[in-house]
């Protein structure tokens, strides 16, 4: 939808999608995403956004006076996975123009102390954002480790996998540990949904169209209600589809109705799993 590196006029983004035109956090009501805007203005209030050596982007929350609190836009960032919202990060270039950095996943947040707009010391919320690619693609240096990680997850009991998917990072751990927890949750979700499908497309109910080189049925994960696929989410909003159904869910005529049916299928299968009832790929 947005092109990394492309410069957009911010007013035109709001004319098309809506959302708050002032401030750094914009939550369009009619679209399943949040737009985050970063720039140099934070320097006026004693803080600045930017990248860490661990590959996290530290993004300061909203609120110019007094302590920042987890409400409105700040809460929207922290709960974006739970709400099924994508995070899109932009940086200001010239006045009125922003460059798209990419889609992000919030791994957690940290508290800092700093001045507000009046110079009074207050609590500042700093969100730890990771590029979505960290969850959907393995870099060459991590490829073997991540493949081994997923192989281990295939041996984990299904109900334990489900608990792992629901696990939230503790606020007491380090940013690196929080990111590792969120990434593990994302891998666990992938394995869990594929095991739930048991080689059968959850859209057309036909067997996977082919086997991978490793001998596994080839199915793709689809995130219901989101514009992108990848990252952590609720198993009730993720299904395993054959490539044809996956394209239909994103681009087909009647895709909204199709996605509703997919959501009903996922919810029904999760209800059976919660009751320990037999289901394909989910032993009682």
Per-residue H/E/C for the chain: CCCCCCEEEHHHHHHHHCCCCCCCEECCCCCCEEEEEECCHHHHHCCCCEECCCCCEEEECCCCCCCCCCCHHHHHHHCHHHHCCEEEEEEECCCCEEEEEEEEEEEEEEEEEEECCCCCEEEEEEEEEEECHHHHCCCCCCHHHHHHHHHHHCCCCHHHHHHHHHCCCCCCCCHHHHHHHHHHHHHHHHHHHHHHHCCECCCCCCECCCECCCCCECCEEEECCCCCCCCCCCHHHEEEECHHHHHHHHHCCCHHHHHHHHHHHHHHHHHHHHCCCCECCECC
The pLDDT confidence band at residue 17, using thresholds 50, 70 and 90, is very high
> Could you tell me whether strands 33-38 and 86-92 are parallel, antiparallel, or unpaired per DSSP bridges?
parallel
- The yes-or-no verdict on residue 240 having pLDDT over 80 is yes
Q: In order of start, what are the domains of the chain with their CATH numbers?
A: 7-131 (2.30.280.10), 144-274 (no CATH)
Provide the whole-model pTM. 0.80
Average pLDDT over residues 229-239: 87
pLDDT at 148 over 70: no
- Find the range with the poorest average confidence among 115-124, 131-140, 256-265: 131-140
CA distance 10 to 125: 24
Average pLDDT value for residue range 157-175: 78
Mean pLDDT for the chain overall: 86
> Is pLDDT at 46 greater than 60 in this prediction?
no
pLDDT of residue 3: 93
Contacts of 216-221 spanning 24+ positions with Cβ under 8 A: 218/242, 218/243, 219/194, 220/246, 221/190, 221/193, 221/194
Question: Distances from the Cα of 191 to the Cαs of 41, 115, 146, 219, in angstroms?
Answer: 42, 45, 12, 11
Beta-carbon-side half-sphere exposure of residue 33 (alpha carbons within 13 Å): 20
The pLDDT of residue 173: 78
> If pLDDT is split at 50, 70 and 90, which confidence band does 9 have?
very high
User: Given pLDDT bands bounded at 50, 70 and 90, which one contains residue 43?
Assistant: low
Does pLDDT of 168 surpass 80? no
> CA end-to-end span of the chain, whole Å?
41
Q: How confident is the model at residue 45 (pLDDT cuts 50, 70, 90)?
A: low
More confident of the two residues 90 and 45: 90
Whole-number pLDDT of residue 163: 85
């Amino acid at each position: 939808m947005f092109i990394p590196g492309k410069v957009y006029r911010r007013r035109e983004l709001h004319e098309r999608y809506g959302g708050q035109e002032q401030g750094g956090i914009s939550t369009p009501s009619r679209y399943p995403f949040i737009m985050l805007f970063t720039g140099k203005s934070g320097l006026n209030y004693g803080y600045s956004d930017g990248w860490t050596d661990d590959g996290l982007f530290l993004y300061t929350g909203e609120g110019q006076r007094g302590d920042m609190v987890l409400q409105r836009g700040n809460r929207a960032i922290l709960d974006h996975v739970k709400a099924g919202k994508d995070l899109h990060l932009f940086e200001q270039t010239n006045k009125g123009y922003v460059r798209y950095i990419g889609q992000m996943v919030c791994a957690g947040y940290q508290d800092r102390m700093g001045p507000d707009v009046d110079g009074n010391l207050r609590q500042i919320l700093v969100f730890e954002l990771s590029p979505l690619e960290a969850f959907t693609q393995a870099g060459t240096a991590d490829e073997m480790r991540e493949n081994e990680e997923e192989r281990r997850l295939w041996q984990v009991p299904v109900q334990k996998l489900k608990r792992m998917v629901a696990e939230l990072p503790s606020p007491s751990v380090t940013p690196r540990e929080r990111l590792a927890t969120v990434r593990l949750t994302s891998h666990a979700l992938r394995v869990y949904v594929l095991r739930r499908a048991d080689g059968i497309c959850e859209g057309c109910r036909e067997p996977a169209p082919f086997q991978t080189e490793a001998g596994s049925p080839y199915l793709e994960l689809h995130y219901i209600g989101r514009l992108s696929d990848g990252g952590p989410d609720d198993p009730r909003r993720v299904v395993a589809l054959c490539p044809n159904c996956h394209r239909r869910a994103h681009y087909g005529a009647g895709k909204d109705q199709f996605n509703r049916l997919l959501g009903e299928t996922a919810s029904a299968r999760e209800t059976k799993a919660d009751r320990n009832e037999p289901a394909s790929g989910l032993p009682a």
